[in-house]
C-alpha cells in the first residue's frame, strides 16, 4: 500500500512537471509565431525559395501542438493517478509512448536534413541581397519588413551594410544607409564601416543558438520524464487492476 501511494505521488509529481514543461513549450511556440512574422514575410519575398525551407515556417505550429499535447498529458496523468483509473492510466501510457516515438522520429529527421542548411542559407542570402539592391527604398512592403526586422534584431541587412549599396534607397538618399546600420548620424559609408553593425543573418543565428540550448535541455528533460512516467503509469495500472 505504501509503495502504491509513493508511486502515485511520483506520478502526480512527474506529470505536474510535464504539464509545466508543456506550458513552457506552448509559450515558446506562441512567441515564435508572434515574433517571427516579419522575418518569414521577408523570406517569402525571395524568388525561387527552396521547397525545403517551407517546413521551417511550421516550427511555431509544431511547438504549439507539442506543448498542448504535453499539457493535456500532464492533466490526464495526474487525474489517472489520483482517481486510480486503469482506463486513464493505460490511455496515458499509450499517448506518451506515441509522443515519445514522434519526438525521436522528429529528432532523426532534423539530423538527417541538417547538411541542407548551409546550402539553403547560401541561396537565401543571395536572393535576399538581390531583393535589397533592387527593391529596398522602392517597394514599400519590402522596405517596411526589412526596417521592422532590423529594428527588432538590432542588425543591418542580410550580411552587413554593403547589402544596401546601389539600392534605390542608397541612390535616392545621397549614398546613405538605413540608420540601423550606424551607431551615429548621418549613416554614410564612413560611419557604417566604423560602426560594424552585424547582419541580420548573424543576429538570427545567435538568437537561434541561444534558444536552442534552452530548448535542447528542455527536450532532454521531457524525454527522461516521459520514460519515467511510462514506467510508473504501468506500475500503477497493474496495481489498479488488482484493486478493481
Domain boundaries, the chain: 2-114+215-243, 117-200
Written as nine digits, the cell of 213 is 540550448
- The answer to whether 132 and 42 have CB atoms below 8 angstroms apart is no
pLDDT tens by residue, 84-129: 778 878 888 888 888 788 878 877 776 776 666 667 777 888 888 9
> Is the omega angle on the peptide bond into residue 19 within 30 degrees of 0, that is, cis?
no
Nearest of 48, 188, 168, 170 to residue 120 by alpha carbon: 48
Asked if residue 29 lies in contact with residue 62, where contact means CB atoms within 8 angstroms, the answer is yes
| R_g over Cα of the chain | 25
Q: 47 pLDDT exceeds 70?
A: no
Rounded CA gap, 178 and 200, in Å? Answer: 13
Single out the residue of 197, 188, 196 nearest to residue 165, CA to CA: 188
Helix (H, G, I), strand (E, B) or coil at 80: helix
Task: Report H helices in 139-186.
Answer: 140-153, 168-172
What would the pLDDT profile of 186-238 be if each residue is shown by its tens digit? 899 999 888 889 999 888 888 877 777 777 777 778 788 778 778 888 887 88
Q: What is the pTM of this model?
A: 0.51
Please give the DSSP secondary-structure letter assigned to residue 197. Answer: P
How much is the mean pLDDT over the chain?
80
Determine the Cα–Cα distance for residues 43 and 46; give it in Å rounded to an integer.
Answer: 5
Q: How many CB atoms lie within 10 A of CB 92?
A: 29
- The residue among 242 and 130 whose pLDDT is bigger is 130
Q: Thinking of the domain 117-200, which architecture would CATH place it in?
A: Orthogonal Bundle (1.10)
Mean pLDDT of all residues in 9-19: 80
Contact 99, 69 (CB under 8 A): yes
Q: Please check the confidence at residue 54 and state whether its pLDDT lies above 80.
A: no
Kindly tell me if the per-residue pLDDT of 7 is higher than 70: yes
Amino acid at each position: 500500500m505504501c509503495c502504491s501511494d509513493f508511486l502515485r505521488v511520483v506520478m502526480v509529481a512527474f506529470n505536474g512537471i510535464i504539464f509545466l514543461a508543456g506550458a513552457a513549450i506552448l509559450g515558446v511556440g506562441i512567441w515564435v509565431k508572434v515574433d517571427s512574422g516579419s522575418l518569414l514575410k521577408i523570406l517569402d519575398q525571395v524568388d525561387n525559395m527552396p521547397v525545403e525551407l517551407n517546413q521551417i515556417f511550421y516550427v511555431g505550429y509544431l511547438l504549439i501542438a507539442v506543448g498542448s499535447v504535453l499539457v493535456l498529458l500532464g492533466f490526464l496523468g495526474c487525474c489517472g493517478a489520483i482517481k486510480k483509473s486503469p482506463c486513464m492510466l493505460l490511455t496515458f501510457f499509450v499517448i506518451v509512448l506515441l509522443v515519445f516515438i514522434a519526438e525521436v522520429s522528429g529528432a532523426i529527421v532534423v539530423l538527417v536534413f541538417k547538411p541542407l542548411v548551409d546550402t539553403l542559407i547560401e541561396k537565401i542570402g543571395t536572393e535576399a541581397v538581390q531583393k535589397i539592391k533592387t527593391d529596398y527604398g522602392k517597394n514599400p512592403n519590402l522596405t517596411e519588413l526589412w526596417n521592422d526586422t532590423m529594428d527588432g534584431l538590432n542588425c543591418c541587412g542580410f550580411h552587413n551594410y554593403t547589402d544596401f549599396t546601389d539600392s534605390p534607397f542608397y541612390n535616392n538618399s545621397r549614398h546613405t544607409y538605413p540608420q540601423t546600420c550606424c551607431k551615429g548620424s548621418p549613416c554614410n559609408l564612413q560611419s557604417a564601416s566604423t560602426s560594424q553593425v552585424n547582419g541580420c543573418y548573424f543576429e538570427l543565428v545567435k538568437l537561434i543558438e541561444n534558444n536552442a540550448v534552452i530548448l535542447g535541455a528542455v527536450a532532454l528533460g521531457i524525454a527522461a520524464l516521459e520514460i519515467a512516467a511510462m514506467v510508473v503509469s504501468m506500475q500503477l495500472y497493474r496495481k489498479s487492476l488488482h484493486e478493481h
